[in-house]
Amino acid sequence: MAGEAQVKNSMALEFLSLPENVGLARVAVATFAAQVDMTLNELEEIKVAVSEAVSNAIIHGYNGEPQGIVRVAVERTEAGLVITVEDKGCGIPDVALAMQPAYSTDPERMGLGFAFMQAFMDELEVTSELNRGTRVRMFKAFKGEIGK
């Protein structure tokens, strides 16, 4: 994944798999990202991508059970931000299928989470193992000189 250069700053946050913590993750990552001169549009894209990744961990990874742990980490490199969202939940049986737009195991959901992450981030990498969890790594490149 791009951006895996020297880390200039980092943060990590762990919280229970409660729906109200989606907003916490979203604001924490956006606040971290705002330390460099990013546009409001870029910050909004980051917030949506983080919200989708954390929501997936809570809803699908832990099936809504409130005692799971979700970990969000962000690293700032010269090239951009690397955002990682991890859970130790049920895992994804077929990552390629899950990443197809409109695919969802829940008929009440639209299945656009990964599509939003792909659209708003420069790179997306999803790894998962059944009954061990899922890791979503997203990269948002800095435009111009802002990461230096």
Structural domain total, the chain:
1
Longest dimension (CA), the chain: 45
Instruction: List the catalytic residues.
Output: 52, 56, 109
* Domain harbouring 105, CATH code: 3.30.565.10
How many distinct helices (H) and strands (E) make up the chain?
4, 5
Q: Which of 75, 73, 83, 74 is nearest to 124 (CA)?
A: 83
Predicted confidence at residue 74, as pLDDT, reads 98
Expressed as residue numbers, the domain containing 124 is: 7-141
What residues in the chain have per-residue pLDDT under 50?
Answer: 145-148
What tens digit of pLDDT does each residue of 30-58 get? 999 999 989 999 999 999 999 999 999 99
Is residue 105 in some structural domain? yes
